[in-house]
Structures are given as C-alpha cells and as structure tokens.
Structure 1
Amino acid sequence: MKKAKTLQPFLKWAGGKSQLLKEISNFMPGEFNNYFEPFVGGGAVLFELHPYQAVINDTNPDLYNCYIVVRDYIEELIADLGRHQNDESYYYKLRDIDLSEEYGLLSPVQRASRTIFLNKTCYNGLYRVNKKGHFNVPFGKYKKPNIVNEHVLRLVSSYLSENKIKILDTDFAEAVEEAASGDFIYFDPPYDPLSDTSSFTAYSSSGFGKDEQKRLRDVFVDLDKKGCKVMLSNSATDFILDLYKNYRVLFVSANRSINSVGTGRGKINEVLVMNYT
C-alpha cells in the first residue's frame, strides 16, 4: 500500500467509524491485494487504510457526487464553498432547494458544495433525509463552523486522484463482483436495529431491512468461498449473530473496546464479523 499523509473524512456521516478505527485496524488482515468498501459512507476506514488500489461504493447520490467532485473539481468546489453564509435563513433556503425544480439545475460542484455546507452547519452534523429523499435536519447555530476545510479536502482529492480508486454508486453485491482471492472487503451496512424504535437508516431514502441483511450475508458467504478476506460491522442483535454464526465474531462494547467474550466490558451493541483469523 502506498503511504499517504494523514487523511480524514471531509464529511460527518451517520454510522461513521472514526471512534472504532483503532479496534477495526487491529483486526484487519496484514496483507491483501485489492480493497473493497461497498458502504463507504464518510470514508473513515478507507482513509485510515489509504490503500493504493480500491473500489469504494455508496448508493447515496449526494455522497457519491461529493467523492467525484472532490476528486475531479477540487478548486471549483473550494471556491463555491467560500460563498456560503453561516446564517439561519440562508441555511433553510439552501436546505429546502431540493423541494423545488431549481435543485435539478445545480451543477455537480454546486450540489457537492451544498451537501458539505449543510453537513458542517446542520444540527449535530447529521445527514438525514425523509422518505421522499429531502434533507430535513435543522440549523445547528454554530458560531464558527469549518465550512471550507481546504487542507482536508485537498489531501482527499490528491489521494483519490493519484491512486487507483474506483468510485461506484451501485448495489453492494455489484460493487464486489470483481473481488478475487486475496482481496479484502470491509462491509459497514446500515445496522440491524436493536429495537423496533431504534432504527436509523435515513442517510438514504431507501431502507435496509431483514431481507437486505440476509442478502448481504449471502454475498459474504460467496466472497468467503472465493478466497477473499471479509470483515463486517453490525449490531450485536440475535438476528445478526444467527446470520453469521459460522464465522468469527468479536463483540464491540459501548465504551468502544473489543472483547471476544460477550459478557465482557460493559453493554455490547456491535460486532465485527470475520472469515479469517
């Protein structure tokens, strides 16, 4: 892998793995060929690993567009970000533009700029859309949000453009079709809800229910048979534990520590599943 300068996400994303990078890194395979991340999100794991050759994927159209624009139009993006105002009325006007026909007239750069601005200035930096796909998070009222983080944006742009990073916006199964023996795949899908009222998959207007979790398990099994090295993050629900009962499962406790014994180190709410030791 080609060593890179310190990289970090340019967006805060629901389900992001920044707090678990140390634990995830500890259990990654020491050697592999190509890297695949079919649910890339904010890219915390990708940027921590910074492989020379990778396939990343996300079906969220705004997120996909951001990666493309950051890679190909960084100067135009930085210039457009500089035009935004940390003002409540301005925020709501720009937020609600996706309710009008005007949204369809925005260029890719303007759309990416809008996404980053909303992410930096909305409440808790939370990307959330309703069932119709409209961004609906209120204004965050921050005094000095870092809207134009040139340093991070330029580092990410250089990484994506100078390495063999393929960016896709397709189904997770299609995103790993080219994976072969010796490749490493990290799955970080929308989590199985701990309860009927705790589900949060609203970073995309499309749901990710039990049937999708089962289909993902089937893809995991197929990749295992190919000789790929596969890691998956998810909730530590009975449903997920049963799906992956034939694989190595490590529990992640609420205080972000990993224990191979389910009763250890506090309340368990997540798991790492691996097909390798």
Structure 2
Amino acid sequence: MTTALVTEPDSAAPPLPRPFLKWAGGKGQLLRQFQPLLPASYGRYFEPFVGGAALFFSLQPARATLTDVNSELVDCYRAVRDSVEEVIAALSHHTYDEAHYYRVRDLDPASLSLPARAARTIFLNKTGFNGLYRVNSAGRFNVPFGRYVNPSICNRPQLRACSAALQSVELAVRDFERVIDHAEAGDFVYLDPPYSPVSSTANFTSYSAGGFSFRDQERLAALFAALDKKGVLVMLSNSDVPEIPPLYSKFRVDRVAALRSINAKSDARGRVGEIVIRNYTTRRSRKAAPADKAG
C-alpha cells in the first residue's frame, strides 16, 4: 500500500491548539466532563505524564511544566515548540506506505536530528496500529503498521498552533515522583498515568521499557498524598477498577465515562468507566487565575 502524504490545508484563522499525537487514554473526549471538576484557580500547571496533553492544550495555562519518563515523547514536544517549521519539512518526506513505515520504525532515533526525530514520532503515531505507543523490553518501538484511509500525517496549522501554545512551557524528562520537588502550595498537578488494565487483554501501558506496575500505582498514590500535604491542588485520572479507589480512600472520587477503542478483543471495546480523584471540592472557574496570565 502506498499513499501520498496527506496534509491539512492552511486556514485563514489559526486553529485552537489540540493534541497533535494520538495517545492511548487521551483525554480529548473527556474535557467537557472535566470542566466542573477543575480547580477554581491555581498558580503553575504541572503534568508529569504528558501523553497527548489534551488538558494542557485546552486550559493553555500561562505557566506550565510538562514532563514524562518517555524521552522520545518529550523530544517531540521540544521540537514542535522550538523548530516547528523544520518538523513540518521533515514530515513532508514521509508517505503512508507499509514498507516505508517499517524502514522508519527501524531507524535509531538517536541518529536523527531533533526535528527529524519528532517527525518520525508523529509519522509512526499517525500510521501505526491504533495510534499506540508501545516499546519492547529493549526500549524499541514495536507497534505494527496500521490500516487507515488517507491518514492525516502533517496538519501544518495545528502543529503551528501547538508550537505557539508551548512557547513558555518547561519540558523535561523526569520520573513522575519528581514533581514533588517543583510544585508548591496553590499549584495544580494533573496526573494521568498509564492506567491499571480493565481486563487481561487491555494492558497497553508499556510506554517505557519498564512498563507501569501496580507498585508504580502505589508510588503514585503516595505522591498524591504528599502533594496534598504540601498544599498542592491535585487531580488524577485512572481506570475504574477495584484496586485503585482504596489507594485514595481519603480523597474525593468522581466517575466519568469514556469511549475506548484500544483492546485486543473487538467485542470488549466501547464505553468504559474511569475515575477522577481530587483533593479539592470547589470549582468556580476552569481557567488559571488572572494573576497567572499577567505573570
């Protein structure tokens, strides 16, 4: 299969930024349900599992730090922030073709320039199976070729809008626990970890070579409690499975519904439950405080 590169036309009015990567468990479809759950106001915004950054792009906070343990993902954001035109140019060399996909997948990201590395990440994300990001035990991306009809590989206006939104953002490769060293009282931390699987066939959480175990879920719960003690506003998403709510018994748990299509069994795909855990209860505004926008 060979299909010419598909791009989105430039439009007169710049679009609002939205995720330029598809991400398993992405929060784009839940933003409306999140609105009444967001804090009234906050200082800085932190997202230690950046993923597709749907909530960040929706809020567009004046001061934000986006981090992840996945260095390839963080490098992609850095390239879009700092060199978006070079990323767009590099994407122009990619075509939706199975043989080309596997050649690009086999490339060593370290051998590429930062914009070319980001273009590789975006291309594989847009053309791989279900938009998954999965690595093997050696840390090598191993998602198979996906079957699509005219996939949009390079949305130029959207990439530029995302670049503009990322200009003042700090990006770093960090383990999620390190947010405790940076967030202060009044800041807002949104935690969106790889989910605890809802079934034996639904564990698509190997976004790093070590995966994300239940021990990591316990570490995350301890971090949540430590941030709460520090006076940080914290919101966490996870799958609605029996083992997760007991880890957060002292905090508020709300349930939301999401349509998830990533499951090895097609008859197991559909609307599934998710939980949102918070250490605050009052919602008066979805935006960052006006003082933050001025500062």
TM-score, with length taken from structure 2: 0.82
3-state SS, counterpart of residue 238 of structure 1:
coil
Corresponding residue of 1:178: 182
2:235 aligned to 214, 231, 234, which one? 231
Cα deviations across residues 151-185 of structure 1 (Å, max 9, x unaligned)?
Answer: 11101111111x3x111111111134221111111
Gaps of 5+ in 2: 1-13, 261-270, 282-295
Give the number of the structure with larger relative contact order, counting CA–CA contacts within 8 Å between residues 6 or more apart: 2
Q: Report if the CA contact (8 A) 1:38-1:176 is conserved.
A: no
Q: Report if the CA contact (8 A) 1:36-1:176 is conserved.
A: no
Deviation, 1:196, is: 4.3
1:274 aligned to 269, 272, 278, which one? 278
Identity over aligned pairs, percent: 50
Corresponding residue of 1:259: none
1:39 aligned to 44, 49, 53, which one? 49
Corresponding residue of 2:289: none
Amino acid at match of 2:18: Q
Structure 1 CA distance for aligned equivalents of residues 237 and 41 of structure 2: 20
Q: Report if the CA contact (8 A) 1:92-1:139 is conserved.
A: yes
Q: Report if the CA contact (8 A) 1:88-1:141 is conserved.
A: no
TM-score, with length taken from structure 1: 0.87
Cα deviations across residues 95-117 of structure 1 (Å, max 9, x unaligned)?
Answer: 1224xxxx432111111111111
3-state SS, counterpart of residue 230 of structure 1:
strand
Amino acid at match of 1:276: Y
Amino acid at match of 2:250: N
Query: What RMSD in Å do the two structures reach over aligned CA positions?
Result: 2.0
Structure 1 CA distance for aligned equivalents of residues 20 and 151 of structure 2: 13
Cα deviations across residues 32-81 of structure 1 (Å, max 9, x unaligned)?
Answer: 11111111101111101110101111111211110010011111111111
Deviation, 1:254, is: 5.1
Corresponding residue of 1:198: 202
3-state SS, counterpart of residue 101 of structure 2:
helix
1:55 aligned to 65, 75, 81, which one? 65
Amino acid at match of 2:59: L
Q: Report if the CA contact (8 A) 1:123-1:137 is conserved.
A: yes
Structure 1 stretch 152-161 or stretch 142-151: which is displaced more?
142-151
Cα deviations across residues 76-99 of structure 1 (Å, max 9, x unaligned)?
Answer: 11111111122221111111224x
Amino acid at match of 1:9: P
Q: Does the alignment pair 1:92 with 2:91? A: no
Q: Report if the CA contact (8 A) 1:181-1:226 is conserved.
A: yes
Structure 1 CA distance for aligned equivalents of residues 160 and 185 of structure 2: 33
Deviation, 1:268, is: 6.1
Deviation, 1:150, is: 0.6
Structure 2 CA distance for aligned equivalents of residues 219 and 213 of structure 1: 10
Structure 1 CA distance for aligned equivalents of residues 131 and 245 of structure 2: 31
Aligned length: 259
Q: Report if the CA contact (8 A) 1:173-1:219 is conserved.
A: yes
Deviation, 1:197, is: 4.3
Corresponding residue of 2:293: none
Structure 2 CA distance for aligned equivalents of residues 84 and 198 of structure 1: 31
3-state SS, counterpart of residue 239 of structure 1:
coil
3-state SS, counterpart of residue 166 of structure 2:
helix
Q: Report if the CA contact (8 A) 1:35-1:51 is conserved.
A: yes
Q: Does the alignment pair 1:248 with 2:252? A: yes
- Shift in alpha-carbon separation, 1:55–1:238, aligned structure 2, 3 A: same
